[in-house]
Chain A
Amino acid sequence: QVQLQESGPGLVKPSQTLSLTCTVSGGSISSGGHYWSWIRQVPGKGLEWIGFIYYSGTAYYNPSLKSRVTISVDTSKNQFSLKLNSVTAADTAVYYCASLGYNDRNFDYWGQGTLLTVSS
């Protein structure tokens, strides 16, 4: 059973860069069966796909965030990471990492989520 766990600071100042890491256990990022994804949810609101990365390093981003987002992967640590720069209060949300099935295109495993607040 694949498990994902987000880690990172709970608070970021406006205009700074948000950095989160997702550690995968119970399976290898390099297995090739999944894309590794970030999704966020403003408290009380819906879900927004941020982007995902394949173990090879190929990444896809939501155009609405593409200019500010970088997703990277570290196969040696079985981790992938999210960086979002120039954050504002609108980026305050629960950030989830999730695995996206390569064939079925569904988010089958999710981390528990981490609340990131943008505030001075």
Chain B
Amino acid sequence: DIQMTQSPTSVSASPGDRVTITCRASQGVSSWLAWYQQKPGKAPKLLIYVASSLQSGVPSRFSGSGSGTDFTLTISSLQPEDFATYYCQQADSFPYTFGQGTKLEIK
């Protein structure tokens, strides 16, 4: 199985800050990488797919980059509604696997 490792595990930031979350795959996944946002008690929500494509309806302050084994999710200017847990997920090979999550908290 491909292991997905996110860093940091948690991060504290303030509204208006720029935040970057990284995701590293244990082997190359090309661009088959997606990012999800999950709020407590809710299902994950797709933000970014194929590494850098913004899902319809997702604000442009979210962006993704990377290929191969190293990927980043950047939120350019944090809004109060962005405080949540973020997961990466590889779709290069079965079984599809997720990172352990990064919890974004208000400072």
Interface residues of A (CB under 8 A from B): 46-49, 60, 62-64, 96, 98, 101, 104-108, 110-113
Question: Are A46 and B87 in contact (CB-based, < 8 A)?
Answer: yes
Interface residues of B (CB under 8 A from A): 1, 32, 34, 36, 42-46, 49-50, 53, 55, 87, 89, 91, 94-101
Q: A46-B98, A49-B96 are in contact. Are A96 and B43 (CB under 8 A)?
A: yes
Give the contacting residue for B91; candidates A48, A63, A106, A113; CB below 8 A. A106
Shortest C-beta distance, A96 to chain B (Å), equals: 6
Question: Are A108 and B46 in contact (CB-based, < 8 A)?
Answer: yes
Question: Are B50 and A107 in contact (CB-based, < 8 A)?
Answer: no
Question: Are B101 and A46 in contact (CB-based, < 8 A)?
Answer: yes
Pairs A-B, 4 closest by C-beta atoms? A105-B91, A110-B43, A106-B49, A62-B95
Q: How far, in angstroms, from A107 to B17 measured CA to CA in the complex?
A: 28
Shortest C-beta distance, B104 to chain A (Å), equals: 16
Residues of B within 8 A of A105 (CB): 32, 34, 49-50, 91, 96
Residues of B within 8 A of A96 (CB): 43-44
Q: How far, in angstroms, from A64 to B96 measured CA to CA in the complex?
A: 12
Residues of B within 8 A of A110 (CB): 43-45
Question: Are A111 and B43 in contact (CB-based, < 8 A)?
Answer: yes
Residues of A within 8 A of B101 (CB): 46
Q: A47-B89, A107-B36 are in contact. Are A63 and B46 (CB under 8 A)?
A: no
Q: How far, in angstroms, from A107 to B45 measured CA to CA in the complex?
A: 8
Question: Are B34 and A49 in contact (CB-based, < 8 A)?
Answer: no
Question: Are A64 and B44 in contact (CB-based, < 8 A)?
Answer: no
Question: Are A48 and B98 in contact (CB-based, < 8 A)?
Answer: yes
Question: Are A64 and B95 in contact (CB-based, < 8 A)?
Answer: yes
Question: Are B91 and A47 in contact (CB-based, < 8 A)?
Answer: no
